[in-house]
Amino acid sequence: MSPKLKIMKKLFIIMSILGSICTSSIYAQDNTPSVVLSSFQKSFSNAANETWSTVKGLYRADFIFENEKVAAFFNPDGELVASSRNVTLLQIPLSLKSGLKKDFHNYEVSNLFEVNKEEGTIYYAAINNSNKHLMLESTASGTWIEKF
């Protein structure tokens, strides 16, 4: 197979994948119930660039809110189930920050995000070192537990 043909084949595959992603996002947005869209507008009136998808029976909106990337999850009745955003170490409670430094001092934080639900706010930290990758979840008492 000629090099030009290989490049064209790869380009076709990439374009097909991108097309299917765009189509599924447009499909999800077009099929989002009006009650969910209305609830989203009430909850996040200044949101911009929202895109919709479905995840495990919930409607997920990814958008920009107050200069931050946010994800919000709504049930089919339009109730906000949870929202999440990436955070920095400066944005988490001091007990969690000190717990990371004390109990996981030989790990590096690769991702940190908060999830707001009716029950409260939970933080998740993806940490790793040369030997291990861990996902931690915060507890109500301000400590970390290994999730998986």
Name the residue ranges covered by the structural domains of the chain: 87-148
Global confidence as pTM: 0.70
Q: In what order do the strands lie in the sheet with 144-146?
A: 48-55, 58-65, 68-74, 80-86, 108-117, 120-128, 133-138, 144-146
pLDDT at position 143: 93
Topology, domain 87-148: Nuclear Transport Factor 2; Chain: A, (3.10.450)
Helix locations, 31-59, DSSP H: 34-43
pLDDT at position 94: 94
Question: What residue type is assigned to position 57 of the chain?
Answer: G
Judged on CB neighbours under 10 Å (0-12, 13-18, 19+), 107 is buried
Write out residues in the chain with pLDDT < 50, as ranges.
Answer: 2-27
pLDDT digits (tens, 9 = 90+) for 77-90: 999 999 999 999 99
CA distances from 39 to 48, 73, 91, 116 (A): 15, 11, 27, 16
CA-CA distance, 18 to 16, in Å (whole number)? 6
